[in-house]
Amino acid sequence: MGCESLKLERLKLGLGERSYSIWIGGGILSDLSQALEEVKFPRKVAVVANPRVQALYGGALADALCACDREYHYITIADGEHYKNWSTLQTIYDALIALDFDRHCGLIALGGGVTGDISGFAAATFLRGIPYIQVPTTLLAQVDSSVGGKTAINHPRGKNLIGAFYQPRHVHIDVHTLQSLDAREFAAGMAEVIKYGVIRDRSFFDWLHNHRKDLRKRKDQALVEAVKRACQIKANIVEIDEKESALRAILNFGHTFGHAVESLSEYRVYRHGEAVAIGMVVAARISCQLGLCSADDIDTIRDLLRAFDLPVDPPDYPLDAWLDAMKHDKKVQRGVLRLVLNKGVGDCLVREIADPAPLFADALKELKPSR
């Protein structure tokens, strides 16, 4: 694992008056003070983080806030997907009220996807909206949840069912934070990175394959390039379709079945990216059944996921349980399931599936691991 000297990469997500910058680099937490000044972020700030992330990066963030003369307060929340709920959201609201926050104050989400999603939703709804910034510290959050303005909490019947589209003022990505991730958490993020190559860019998919060793070693230059290219793909899609009326739905490749994996296992067995990896293979199998990709394409996707030690075999639940869980997917329209399906590797489409039972039955049968 290396910490090389890297230039700061800057992207922009263009949404008119809601546009914002995405900064990507190694060792750039101290540059947050400059970003806060550029976006005229409020002087009074609450930082939402779980205890582990606060212990790792809270001091560096505090130094950056002091350097630009911000008054800051920490709000500590529990760690884990199963805590992305009403109770934790209420904890944030209670703290903001106790701190006398008003509409001229701001939130900073410091952490992974759970922290970013719930902090963003708190920002969207507290006093009908206060500004917030994303400082993602996991790979999954850096390439997915921190960019695009999706904020949410989970419901026992489904993931991210309660939320809002609410864009951050800035996204600040320091790849040095990825050195503190455990192997499973890093791999979970790589699932989302691989997703972008499958749905949008074969050349990026091939680049990931060719640089898999450097990525596994968490070499800074490879990480910055992977995060930058993933964020650029997502930014390009969100600029066209901010609120998922059409094109943005393709970002959910692997998520329909993946969310079912998470909900059926009560968010305690699989990391989000692990569930998405399984969901991508299931989606690819259905794509093959419908003539949209080949068996070789399935193997190509599965092999790259396995190269990062990601699970690719669905857990053993009854077909009816899978179908019931997927009924609550956000892409369901008028009771009809809509699946994101890959066309080979590098392209995709969204297709309505009027009768999903036989397709999923065949896919699960084909993908059932040998005993």
Residues marked as catalytic: 128, 150, 192, 234, 244, 248, 252, 255, 259, 272
> Crossing angle, helix 295-307 and helix 183-200, to 10 degrees?
150
Whose structure tokens read 């809270």? Answer: 58
Region for residue 27 given its phi and psi (left: phi exceeds 0; alpha: psi -120 to 50; beta: otherwise): left
Q: How many CA atoms lie within 13 A of 77 on its CB side?
A: 33
pLDDT at 3 over 60: no
Q: 219: annotated binding-site residue? A: no
CA distance 320 to 254: 19
What amino acid occupies position 86?
Answer: W
Q: 243: annotated binding-site residue? A: no
Confidence band of 5 (pLDDT split at 50, 70, 90): low
pLDDT at 292 over 90: yes
pLDDT at 197 over 80: yes
Start-to-end C-alpha separation, the chain: 36
Q: What are phi and psi of 183, to 5 degrees?
A: -60, -40
Section 289-314 average pLDDT: 97
pLDDT digits (tens, 9 = 90+) for 316-360: 999 999 999 998 776 677 678 999 999 999 999 999 998 999 999
pLDDT at 185 over 90: yes
Q: 80: annotated binding-site residue? A: yes
Cα 125 to chain centroid distance, Å, stands at 21
Q: 206: annotated binding-site residue? A: no
> Crossing angle, helix 113-125 and helix 86-98, to 10 degrees?
60
Confidence band of 367 (pLDDT split at 50, 70, 90): confident
Q: What are phi and psi of 49, to 5 degrees?
A: -155, 155
Looking at the chain, which residues constitute the CATH 3.40.50.1970 domain(s)? 9-181
- What is the largest distance, in Å, between two alpha-carbon atoms of the chain? 61
CA distance 348 to 325: 23
| CATH architecture for residues 193-367 | Up-down Bundle (1.20)
Q: 159: annotated binding-site residue? A: yes
Q: Report the DSSP beta bridge partners of residue 151.
A: 164
- Rg of the chain over all Cα atoms, to the nearest angstrom: 20
Q: 82: annotated binding-site residue? A: yes
Q: 114: annotated binding-site residue? A: yes
pLDDT at 47 over 80: yes
SS3 category, 351? strand
CA distance 107 to 105: 7
28 vs 156 pLDDT, higher one: 28
Q: What are phi and psi of 14, to 5 degrees?
A: -90, 110
Q: 84: annotated binding-site residue? A: yes
Q: What are phi and psi of 78, to 5 degrees?
A: -70, 155
> Element (H or E) spanning 210, and its range?
helix 202-210
pLDDT digits (tens, 9 = 90+) for 227-267: 999 999 999 999 999 998 899 999 999 999 999 999 999 88
Q: Report the DSSP beta bridge partners of residue 215.
A: none
Angle at 145 between CA 107 and CA 224, to 5 degrees: 100
| Average pLDDT of the chain to the nearest whole number | 94
CA distance 132 to 112: 15
E strands, the chain, in order: 9-13, 20-25, 44-49, 71-76, 105-111, 132-136, 150-155, 158-165, 170-174, 337-342, 348-353
Q: Are 140 and 273 in contact (CB under 8 A)?
A: yes
pLDDT of residue 330: 65
Q: Please determine, looking at this structure, whether the domain spanning 9-181 carries the CATH number 3.40.30.10.
A: no
CA-wise closest residue to 123 among 143, 153, 80, 144 = 153
SS3 category, 59? helix
pLDDT digits (tens, 9 = 90+) for 50-71: 999 999 999 999 999 999 999 9
Looking at the chain, which residues constitute the CATH 1.20.1090.10 domain(s)? 193-367
Q: 116: annotated binding-site residue? A: yes
CA distance 47 to 132: 10
Q: Are 209 and 332 in contact (CB under 8 A)?
A: no
Q: What are phi and psi of 89, to 5 degrees?
A: -60, -40
Q: Percentage of the chain with pLDDT > 90?
A: 88
